[in-house]
Amino acid sequence: MTFLQLLKISSLPPKETEILAVFLLHKNREVLLTHPETKISSPLLKKFKKLEKRRLLGWSIATLVGQKEFYGLSFRVDKNVLVPRPETEMIVDEILKETENECLIIDLGTGSGAIIIALVKNLKIAKTKFLAVDISLRALKIAKQNAKLHKLDKKIKFFQGNLLTPILKLLPNKKLIIAANLPYLTKAQINNSPSIKWEPKLALDGGRDGLKYYQALFKQLNSVKYKALELLIEIDPSQTVKIKTLAKKYFPPKCLEIKKDLAGRNRLLIIKKTA
């Protein structure tokens, strides 16, 4: 069978068929498109059919090929980590825009390590330290692999545990910048979203109202001493009122700001507070 014939019999959109074929053949996409007569062996066709079946069941293309681009960088992903989303790049944008002086940057729920790695790659401020935390050892394994891939494994310290718990004793009394892309969906949202059916529930389920982990984080921060805090939280647009109400129990209203994504939906809660 040729690549052209594969395009004709595939049950997937042409672009997705191309991506899977490029992955299986280890060929450049442009080369494959200019040579549609490229042979697809029987063993490769069987592998394609297996991937095709998973894709039709809802697996993401990124998970199937084990790679996803984020902030112009390539990241390894698998079934143990959430696939980095374009809207999450907002967190990186905001931190890069606001950070001018030495500080400690923490990535909670690091997953694939996309946020912290993108920050280290782009933020060139002397003496700034970078910590990443995840409750999943399997996710941390992927994050460490990605850090090594980008030659940043010596610049990021990784910790296993829940929220700030494993690093509380390491927090200095200076400016803290915390990126928190924590699980924030309800079970109903997860069940009604086929596109995330095969992604790790641990990285998605935020409890009854989706705010379980954010509430716990706010409580932890009440016991932390710092000169200044900048906390960036990714939210579901439908949570806007609830997350602001919750945040006001722990932070003055003037410290809160909601940012919209490119689609005009509320996507980021930013909390800025001085000691």
pLDDT averaged over every residue in the chain: 92
Alpha-carbon gap, residue 40 to 43, rounded angstroms: 8
Query: For residues 143 and 132, is the Cβ–Cβ distance under 8 A?
Result: yes
Contact 271, 229 (CB under 8 A): yes
**Backbone angle region of 193, left / alpha / beta, with phi > 0 → left and psi within -120 to 50 → alpha:** beta
Q: Which residue has the tokens 């507070």?
A: 273
Tokens linked to 248: 């006001």
Those residues whose C-beta lies under 8 Å from the C-beta of residue 72, and which sit 6 or more positions away, are none
Residue 63: band (very low, low, confident or very high) from pLDDT cuts 50, 70, 90: very high
Percentage of residues in the chain with pLDDT exceeding 70? 100
125 in Cβ contact with 95 (< 8 Å)? no
The sign of the dihedral angle between the CA atoms of 163, 169, 170, 171 is: positive
Q: Which of 180, 187, 219, 179 is nearest to 204 (CA)?
A: 187
Tokens for 245?
């109400």
Taking residues 4-18, report their average pLDDT: 95
Residues 189-205, mean pLDDT to the nearest whole number: 79
From the CB of residue 30, how many other CB atoms can be counted at a distance below 10 Å? 9
What pLDDT sits at residue 18?
A: 95
Instruction: Give the dihedral sign, CA 95/96/97/99.
Output: positive
Q: Does residue 198 carry a pLDDT above 80?
A: no
Q: Where in the chain is the domain with CATH 3.40.50.150?
A: 71-274
CATH code for residues 71-274: 3.40.50.150
Report in angstroms the alpha-carbon separations of 61 from 17, 50, 92, 216.
10, 13, 24, 33
Type of residue numbered 207: G
Confirm if 179 and 95 have CB atoms less than 8 A apart.
Answer: yes
Kindly report the pTM of this predicted structure. Answer: 0.92
